[in-house]
Every structure is written in structure tokens, then in C-alpha cells.
Amino acid sequence: MNRADAMKDSADAASHDRGPGDESVVRVASTAPWDPYEVWLTRVKQPRERAAHVAAARASGRTKARRD
């Protein structure tokens, strides 16, 4: 038996182990709405503003550089 056959057998076994409720859980999770503006705000804009604020504070000497 080669690796591809083993992987197929493993996937077949896993698909038989699923209960009837498993598919609905996957469907609900994949259709969860998301707001592109919220993603941009929390992943792009706010981190940039925090980084700029920290850089300005360090430049003015209000904070010390942390050493990890």
C-alpha cells in the first residue's frame, strides 16, 4: 500500500465516522458573516496607529525601549 492509498483509506474512514449533525456545524461555521471594514479596522488601521503612537512616544523620550 502506498501513501496515497493510505491517505484515501484514512479519509474514507473519517467520513464514515461523522454523525448527521457534523455537516450542519460545518455549514453554519462557513457561512458566518464578516464585515470587511471591521477586518480592515482591527487588522490594518488600529495596529498602524498604535505603532505610530509608540514610535512618537519613543522619539520624544517618554518611554524606554523594552528588552525582551
**Domain boundaries, position 68:** 34-68
Q: Would you say residue 5 lies in a domain?
A: no
Mean pLDDT by 10 residues, the chain (68 residues): 74 64 55 88 97 95 61
Could you tell me the pTM of the whole model? Answer: 0.42
Identify the pLDDT of residue 37.
95
Q: Would you say residue 22 lies in a domain?
A: no
Work out how many domains the chain is built from and give that number. Answer: 1
Cα–Cα distance between 50 and 42 in angstroms, integer? 11
**DSSP for 1-65, written as a single string:** --HHHHHHHHHHHHHHH--TTHHHHHHHHHT----HHHHHIIIIIHHHHHHHHHHHHHHHTSSPP
Identify the pLDDT of residue 1.
61
Identify the pLDDT of residue 25.
53
Q: Would you say residue 51 lies in a domain?
A: yes
